[in-house]
Chain A
Amino acid sequence: MFRKLYAWLIASPPRTLALGFAFIIALGSFLLHLSAASRTGEPTRYIDALFTATSATCVTGLVVVDTGEHYSTFGQIVILTMIQLGGLGFMSMATLFAFFLKRRISLKERLILQEALNQSSIEGIVRLVRRVVLYALTIEAAGAALLAIRFLRDMSPGKAIYYGIFHSVSFFNNAGFDIMGGFRSLTGYVGDPLVNLVTMALIVLGGLGFVVLSDLTDLRSGRRLSLHSKVVLTMSGSLILFGAIVIFAFEYSNPGTLKPLDTGTKILSAFMQSVSPRTAGVNTVDLPALRQATQFFIVLLMFIGASPGSTGGGIKTTTFAALLGAVWAIIRGREDVVMFRYRLAQERVYKALTLTLLAVALVLTATMILSTTEDHYFLMILFEVVSAFGTVGLSMGLTSDLTLFGKIVIMLMMFAGRLGPLTLGYALVPKRDKVLYREAEGKIIIG
């Protein structure tokens, strides 16, 4: 029975994953549609329930109704379960894809991978999934405890623990759902170092991806970091730092956001706003009040997103790094794209390029469609579309005003943004040795 399932899974993993996600979303939307899920006892409109379920399962965090005020405790727990399933399910599947289900995996690769993960074939998969779940639950528990301690000051112990768990799970899975009420996200805690630091740590750990987490844990036993982990860590580190500096500089004198805060808080919230677009979706300042330049910059951060095999979305840090590496190589007149003294296969660079261009095409098309159907200005629509595609969940307020058609487009974007890059990354492998001829070379002028 298990072997049969395994065989079916392995026949077309992306299909399995897409079906699994669709199933969870359908089930979740049905549960959220029940009258027990809403606070007033009246059933939520089906389209809104479906939207929330999609947003939760794709760990996005865009909401059409306020999670804290509209849904009952039962509804909130349904949402939380979907986030956990969506986030962890995706994380394990993506890690599996990357390590075991490669189309044509050579014996050599298999040996290297087995060595890297200390496991093989079916029992390996089970052990890997168990390890992913263990890691995630440990981190989430630690986060929940820390957040609960802080919330104890504001609310009763029972509520504080519940709030702690909800936000810890939501943040680690980069979902960005909150139950603070009034679409406020964490704006009430803008100056609180504990909440901010715990949140950032959870988001970053969730966004690095399992491979890197596992690498980091093994670091103490004397192992060296893999190239993948080095690239991910360097890229994430520089993006966070660069993002914080840019946001700090752009918003320093903006009375609607950072200006009223003291310097320490300014730095803290600049970092928070820099971490969150990749791709958690929590905010401590009012997003529509940000300057246009900052909003656009956040759009770029959201597009890049988190790292492969993580709970976050976007085109992924490694994709971005591969593109940067390619540009740098050409500028320096080198044939090979080199990172940390390793060469990237040309095929991976093209893969990164394809993924990015398709993502750009998808985002641009959706933006154009929505700018004809929604009566809002351009940057707001672009922001919302990229937020959905990167499964971020930051919103400038468009989501709650969406037309029915707009809601459907945004839901599709979340689904495509969650599954697209992984599926593409998996499917895009050149069929080597299949083509026995090559076309003659043609000459054209570029630029």
Chain B
Amino acid sequence: MLTIGFAVIITIGALLLRLPISTVSREPTPWLEAFFVSGSATCVTGLARLDTVNYFSVFGRWVILVLVQLGGLGFMTMGTLFAFFAGRRLSLKDRLVLQEAMNQGSLEGIVRLVRRVLVYALCIEAVGALLFTFRFMHEMHFRKALYYGVFHSVSFFNNGGFDLFGDFRSMADYVGDPYMNLLAIVLIVLGGVGFVVLSDLVELRERRKLSYHSKVVLWVSAFLIVLGTVTILIFEYSNENTLGPLGFGQKLLAATMQSVSTRSAGVSTVDIGSLRDATQFAMVLLMFVGASPGSTGGGIKTTAFAVLAAAVWAMLRGRTDVVLLGLRVERNKVNRAITVTMLSLAIVIASVMLLSITERQGFLLILFEVMSAYATVGLSAGITGDLSTFGQVVIIVLMFIGRLGPLTMTYALGTKSGRTLYRYAEGRIIIG
């Protein structure tokens, strides 16, 4: 159902973007290009072959913005619903726990939940838009500033990564602007932690306690942001084309911005193509991990990453149980995390191999692009515009799979407990 919904939105979006009134030049966009933009917007990726501000008219840009909003919020709502209500075999106990957690049950609960997600998202976006507008008023007249504020606030909160600055520069002009950067970072992070965590944080004052899920998400997100910042700062410190010319404060700001944006917003303040190989590769890894479940971002998700790390740690310490922040993670969940990660890896690797045949580009550039599409990030080291027809199709498909894959996989992958009445005898093989 979710898949069909997304497909329908993308198709309608492509139809609208194809209309002559969507472009500045009033000429119709080719089908494939329209589909690419529509797919990129609905899957809140942000990979763009056409310059959003110079190619599309105001109407076209509104279409893109609506697609981003629908894609982002729709996914956030559905992701949260899946996690809480549509679990395959929800036991009475689970249901009670969840109802307690969310203060609601069944149908009216769903309606209330959706309403709550919308209220949260719109509130944050409105505040973001307002603050952006203040800043933009320095440079442009009020109406344009308001429009720019709304567009970027919505795009960033939904981890869309579309921008109106033109020439594929993203936020490069604002590299040293603390206000703009911090605002963008806050919007991206809020969009990326997921609704469950947001709702937990809001209720923190009454309940005085975060749920286990929120704790894991917050710790892992913070850890990854810091780790990414430090890595980028070290690798790029002396790179003349990126952080080299900046003051230390600005270096730190730019490194943080790049680190946050990689998971999985897709805004950049430095030229991604000029980054060193090591940095680009580090970013590929950050993109793969991505945002948190039930959020607007993509990737295999912070929780899956945390569970895998915890499983390795448990094994190294010789423990049978996987323990994370003092609580045991169910074996079933560990297996799901393994599966999501392995299948994602397989998809990414297969796509990289396909594209290295069809595209005449360096390997790392292709890997970067594929990962960016799969994790719905939208950062590009510069080859999006040069993709062949086949390459475009692959990237569109990847964005779609990357958006829906991890959620659908985990939803569909439930162990049918109690179904098999027999077990096979244990066999031994040697590992390692």
Contacts and interface: CB of A to CB of B under 8 A. Distances in A.
B425 A347 contact: no
Nearest to B352: A296
Interface string B415-427: 1110110011111
Sort chain A's interface into a size bin: 35 or more
Interface string B394-432: 000000000000110110011111011001111111111
Contacts of B357: 250, 291, 293
Nearest to A383: B363
A368 B278 contact: yes
B212 A331 contact: no
Interface stretch (A17-25, A65-73, A121-129, A321-329): A321-329
B104 interface: no
B324 interface: yes
Interface stretch (A139-147, A192-200, A274-282, A436-444): A436-444
A367 B414 CA distance: 37
A338 interface: yes
Contact of B277 (A378, A428, A430, A442): A378
Given A293-B357, A300-B349, A367-B281, A211 B276 contact: no
B303 A445 contact: yes
Nearest to A421: B432
Given A323-B342, A439-B323, A446 B307 contact: yes
Contacts of B308: 353, 357
Interface string A307-325: 0110000011011011100
A408 interface: no
A424 interface: yes
Interface stretch (B22-30, B53-61, B183-191, B331-339): B331-339
Contact of A211 (B307, B430, B432): B430
Given A421-B432, A442-B328, A447-B293, A428 B282 contact: no
A371 B328 CA distance: 38
Contact of A327 (B331, B343, B419): B343
A319 B432 contact: yes
Interface stretch (B64-72, B113-121, B243-251, B311-319): B311-319
Contacts of A344: 426-427, 429
Contacts of A430: 315, 318-320
A328 B403 CA distance: 22
B152 interface: no
A371 B331 CA distance: 38
Contacts of B320: 347, 430, 432, 435
**Which of B196, B303, B318, B334 lies at the interface centre, i.e. has the most chain A CB atoms within 10 A of its CB?**
B318
A431 interface: yes
Interface string B169-187: 0000000000000000000
A339 B278 contact: no
B301 interface: yes
Contact of A316 (B276, B301, B431): B431
Contacts of A2: none
Interface string B290-318: 00011000001101101110011011101
A445 B432 contact: no
**Which of B194, B314, B319, B417 lies at the interface centre, i.e. has the most chain A CB atoms within 10 A of its CB?**
B319
B432 A422 contact: yes
B15 to A, nearest CB: 31
Given A292-B356, A446-B340, A368 B282 contact: yes
Contacts of B407: 447
A111 interface: no
A343 to B, nearest CB: 4
A425 B337 CA distance: 22
B415 A446 contact: no
Determine the main DSSP class of B at the interface with A: helix
A295 B308 CA distance: 28
Contacts of B417: 335
Contacts of B293: 445-447
B362 A377 contact: yes
A352 interface: yes
A378 B364 contact: yes
B423 A336 contact: yes
A318 B430 CA distance: 7
B4 interface: no
A447 B409 contact: yes
Contacts, number: 236
A440 B325 CA distance: 11
Contacts of A342: 424-427
Interface in A328-357: 329-331, 333-336, 338-348, 350-355, 357
B140 interface: no
A318 B319 contact: no
A228 B325 contact: no
B307 A444 contact: yes
Interface in A372-388: 372, 377-379, 381-382
Interface string A10-35: 00000000000000000000000000
Contacts of B363: 292, 295-296, 377-379, 382
Given A346-B331, A440-B328, A429 B318 contact: yes
Nearest to A315: B432
Contacts of B333: 444, 446
A80 interface: no
Nearest to A330: B339
B387 interface: no
A227 B429 CA distance: 7
Contacts of B326: 439, 442
B351 to A, nearest CB: 11
B347 interface: no
A259 to B, nearest CB: 15
A330 B217 CA distance: 24
Interface in A238-261: 250
Contacts of B353: 293, 296-297
A267 interface: no
Contacts of B427: 227, 339-340, 342-344
B330 interface: yes
Interface string B345-372: 0000100111011000011101000000
Contacts of A289: none
Contacts of A335: 415, 417, 420
**Which of B235, B335, B413, B424 lies at the interface centre, i.e. has the most chain A CB atoms within 10 A of its CB?**
B335
A358 interface: yes
A77 interface: no
A357 B318 CA distance: 16
A428 to B, nearest CB: 5
Contacts of A321: 429
B112 to A, nearest CB: 19
Interface in B180-225: 194, 196, 212-213, 216-217
7 contacts: A322-B431, A327-B342, A342-B427, A351-B315, A354-B312, A355-B431, A442-B326
* Top 9 closest pairs, chain A to chain B, by CB: A342-B427, A425-B432, A442-B327, A447-B410, A379-B363, A378-B364, A447-B406, A227-B427, A354-B315
Given A327-B339, A446-B304, 9 more contacts: A227-B427, A333-B413, A333-B416, A348-B429, A351-B431, A372-B276, A378-B363, A432-B320, A444-B217
Interface of A: 98, 209, 211, 227-228, 231-232, 250, 291-293, 295-297, 300, 308-309, 315-316, 318-319, 321-323, 326-327, 329-331, 333-336, 338-348, 350-355, 357-358, 364, 367-369, 371-372, 377-379, 381-382, 421-422, 424-426, 428-432, 434-435, 438-447
